[in-house]
Amino acid sequence: MATTVVIGGGVIGLTLAHELRQRGDEVILIDRKYPGAGSSAGNAGWVVPSIASPVPAPGLPATALKWMADPESPLYIKPRFDPGFIRWLWDFFRACRVEEYRTGRAALVSLAGDALKDFDRLRSEGVEFEMTQAGLLIIGFGEDGLDHYYEETDDLAEIGYQPAQRLSGPETRELEPALSGDVAGSVFVTDDRHVRPESLVAGLVAALRRDGVELRDGTAVTGFRRSGRDIVAVTTETGEIEADRFVLAAGAWSGALARSAGFSLPIEAGKGYSITVDDPNLRLQHPLDLIEARAAVTPFDGALRFAGTMEISGINMRYIKRRADAIWRNAQGYLREPVTGSRMRAWVGMRPMTPDGLPVIGRLPGSDNLYVATGHQMLGVTLAPTTARALAEIIVSGSSSVSLTPFDPLRFL
Ligand SMILES: Cc1cc2nc3c(=O)[nH]c(=O)nc-3n(C[C@H](O)[C@H](O)[C@H](O)COP(=O)(O)OP(=O)(O)OC[C@H]3O[C@@H](n4cnc5c(N)ncnc54)[C@H](O)[C@@H]3O)c2cc1C
């Protein structure tokens, strides 16, 4: 029986550990803190193949420049004079071209096409978590933004989705009475789902423990020991851990670890915030995608979560209150009345960002037994179970039923 070390207890590492264990591997999951300590617990929890698009998009460079001086903008790129970052930014802006964006969207929608089935399978394998099928309501104050989203979702039949519906303001409020009279309309996608992400992390941890996976919290991987093309052990502050194969799933921290294995993996951190209100006065029936605010609102059992902001400012978990407050304030404008509740909790997380907006899934060049699964940007929850299944198939049997070519780490060579 092979032993696999998975580095990182985010939603990607946890689902992968589960898939490998289901296939008979001995699995050791290592996290520098604890599962969910990165960006996998406090996020919006959307499972949204419908909006599986790369972050670098046409028009984004102009918007980013315009917003650079605004301390409350939903997108902020902090300049820094580091050759790796300058190269990343250059490639990111190049990926905003129409052709690259379309190709990226097709690849992501195709990968996300199995998401719902893979979430159902997780459940049938005894992983317990809160999951709701209420669709996604994309709402806006103006027709242009709504038209854009409506056109963007015209490829959903390819993954077996019902066509998106374009609803007027009154039709939207009929569906979601908590919305303000200023909302001009919506695009409604009925097939999308949402999960409570912290319950997903907890459910996976419980399933891994039940199935005999060894979880090592508070253990930071510092590097690798190799013999020729094989990695033989990871090094940690408290000693080495030997195994037959290794998977790097350390989210925004993956770039530095890949470098220590000799591969230059361009990953930047895309910081975001969420605010969760317990026992809210407003009851929402659907998750809301707020076009102008570029923010998300998700209803959970007994709570409402507001999330947003993309701050590319290096690896740091600093909570910048002013930006988080802006998410909250802007979101209130879409609602009938201000949200109150018994408790409010703030959270910060870092999305792992590649310059082309696509995840990196596969074997890392230069090693025969070191794999990577990261770079899932705003879609890590959506894509986790399918990424994990596809990579586990490759690790265990050498090939996968899912095409991973667009996500091959080789593209960064
Ligand atoms: C505000 C916000 C809202 C979001 N909303 C959604 C959404 O609605 N739907 C969706 O699909 N996605 C969403 N995302 C994106 C999603 O959260 C991420 O894509 C996903 O969590 C990434 O998971 P991961 O496992 O790759 O990384 P992480 O969750 O960051 O996990 C990485 C783990 O690696 C560990 N680690 C790091 N370095 C080391 C080391 N040296 N040794 C050992 N362990 C290490 C960390 O402690 C961490 O636990 C959102 C993100 C944010 C910030």
Condensed to tens digits (0 to 9), the pLDDT of residues 114-159 reads 999 999 999 999 999 999 999 999 999 999 999 999 999 988 998 9
Give nearest CA residue, ligand 1 atom 33: 8
254 and 272 fall within a common domain:
no
Answer with the one of 305, 322, 353 that is the final residue of a domain.
353
In 53-95, alpha helices (H): 60-67, 83-94
Query: What is the residue range of 36's domain?
Result: 3-41+199-266+357-412
* Residue 126 placed within a domain: no
Provide the pLDDT confidence category of residue 285 given band limits of 50, 70 and 90.
Answer: very high
Mutate to test the pocket of ligand 1, among 323, 378, 383, 387 (most ligand atoms within 8 A of CB): 378
Give nearest CA residue, ligand 1 atom 14: 378
* Residue 104 placed within a domain: no
Give nearest CA residue, ligand 1 atom 21: 40
Ligand 1 atom closest to residue 8's alpha carbon, by position in its atom list: 34
Ligand 1 atom closest to residue 309's alpha carbon, by position in its atom list: 1
CA of 380 to the centre of ligand 1 (A): 7
Give nearest CA residue, ligand 1 atom 13: 378
Provide the pLDDT confidence category of residue 68 given band limits of 50, 70 and 90.
Answer: confident
Q: What is the pLDDT of residue 7?
A: 98
The distance in angstroms from the start CA to the end CA of the chain is 33
135 and 165 fall within a common domain:
yes
**Would you call 5 helix, strand, or coil by DSSP?**
strand
Residue 22 belongs to domain with CATH number: 3.50.50.60
Q: What is the pLDDT of residue 71?
A: 84
Condensed to tens digits (0 to 9), the pLDDT of residues 88-103 reads 999 999 999 999 999 9
CA of 69 to the centre of ligand 1 (A): 27
Percent of the chain's residues with pLDDT above 90: 96
Distance (Å, rounded) from C-alpha 349 to C-alpha 43? 8
**DSSP tag of 187:** E
Residue 315 belongs to domain with CATH number: 3.30.9.10
Q: Please report where in the chains the tokens 């303000």 appear, as a residue.
A: 180
Tokens of 381: 């929850």
Distance (Å, rounded) from C-alpha 373 to C-alpha 250? 8
Contact 186, 149 (CB under 8 A): no
Total number of domains constituting the chain? 2
Q: Which helix (H) or strand (E) covers residue 139, if one does?
A: strand 136-140
Provide, for the chain, the percentages of residues in helix, strand and coil under a 3-state DSSP scheme, each rounded to the nearest 5: 35, 25, 35
Percent of the chain's residues with pLDDT above 70: 100
Distance (Å, rounded) from C-alpha 370 to C-alpha 255? 14
Give nearest CA residue, ligand 1 atom 2: 43
E strands in 94-249: 131-132, 136-140, 165-168, 185-189, 193-195, 214-216, 221-227, 230-236, 239-242, 245-248
Give nearest CA residue, ligand 1 atom 15: 378
Answer with the one of 305, 334, 353 that is the final residue of a domain.
353
Answer with the one of 328, 353, 378 that is the final residue of a domain.
353
Distance (Å, rounded) from C-alpha 23 to C-alpha 388? 12
Distance (Å, rounded) from C-alpha 385 to C-alpha 99? 28
Q: What is the pLDDT of residue 274?
A: 98
284 and 318 fall within a common domain:
yes
Residues 6+ apart with CB under 8 A from 60: 75, 96
85 and 188 fall within a common domain:
yes
72 and 204 fall within a common domain:
no
* Residue 332 placed within a domain: yes
Residues 255-279 have a mean pLDDT of 97
CA of 381 to the centre of ligand 1 (A): 9
Instruction: Look at the pTM and tell me if it is higher than 0.85.
Output: yes
9 and 152 fall within a common domain:
no
Condensed to tens digits (0 to 9), the pLDDT of residues 338-348 reads 999 999 999 99
CA of 171 to the centre of ligand 1 (A): 36
DSSP β-bridge partners for residue 26 = 3
* Residue 105 placed within a domain: no
Ligand 1 atom closest to residue 379's alpha carbon, by position in its atom list: 11
* Residue 392 placed within a domain: yes
Q: What is the pLDDT of residue 69?
A: 81
Tokens of 100: 């690259």
Distance (Å, rounded) from C-alpha 279 to C-alpha 281? 7
Among 144, 139, 142, 110, which Cα is nearest to 336's?
A: 139
Contact 58, 96 (CB under 8 A): yes
Tokens of 126: 């005894």
Ligand 1 atom closest to residue 30's alpha carbon, by position in its atom list: 43
257 and 284 fall within a common domain:
no
CA of 40 to the centre of ligand 1 (A): 4
Q: What is the pLDDT of residue 251?
A: 98
* Residue 115 placed within a domain: no
Contact 271, 407 (CB under 8 A): no
Provide the pLDDT confidence category of residue 113 given band limits of 50, 70 and 90.
Answer: very high
Contact 291, 51 (CB under 8 A): no
Q: What is the pLDDT of residue 65?
A: 87
CA of 249 to the centre of ligand 1 (A): 9
**Would you call 372 helix, strand, or coil by DSSP?**
strand
Residues 6+ apart with CB under 8 A from 353: 55, 252, 267, 268, 269, 270, 312, 375, 377
**Protein residues whose CB sits closer than 6 Å to any atom of ligand 1:** 7-13, 30-33, 37-40, 43-46, 220-221, 249-253, 257, 272-274, 296, 307, 349, 351-352, 374, 376-382
Q: What is the pLDDT of residue 317?
A: 93
Condensed to tens digits (0 to 9), the pLDDT of residues 168-205 reads 999 999 999 999 999 999 999 999 999 999 999 999 99
Among 352, 410, 401, 395, which Cα is nearest to 110's?
A: 401
CA of 172 to the centre of ligand 1 (A): 32
279 and 343 fall within a common domain:
yes
Distance (Å, rounded) from C-alpha 38 to C-alpha 11? 9
35 and 177 fall within a common domain:
no
CA of 127 to the centre of ligand 1 (A): 19
* Residue 293 placed within a domain: yes
* Residue 232 placed within a domain: yes
69 and 173 fall within a common domain:
yes
274 and 179 fall within a common domain:
yes
Q: What is the pLDDT of residue 70?
A: 86
218 and 75 fall within a common domain:
no
Provide the pLDDT confidence category of residue 206 given band limits of 50, 70 and 90.
Answer: very high
Q: What is the pLDDT of residue 353?
A: 98
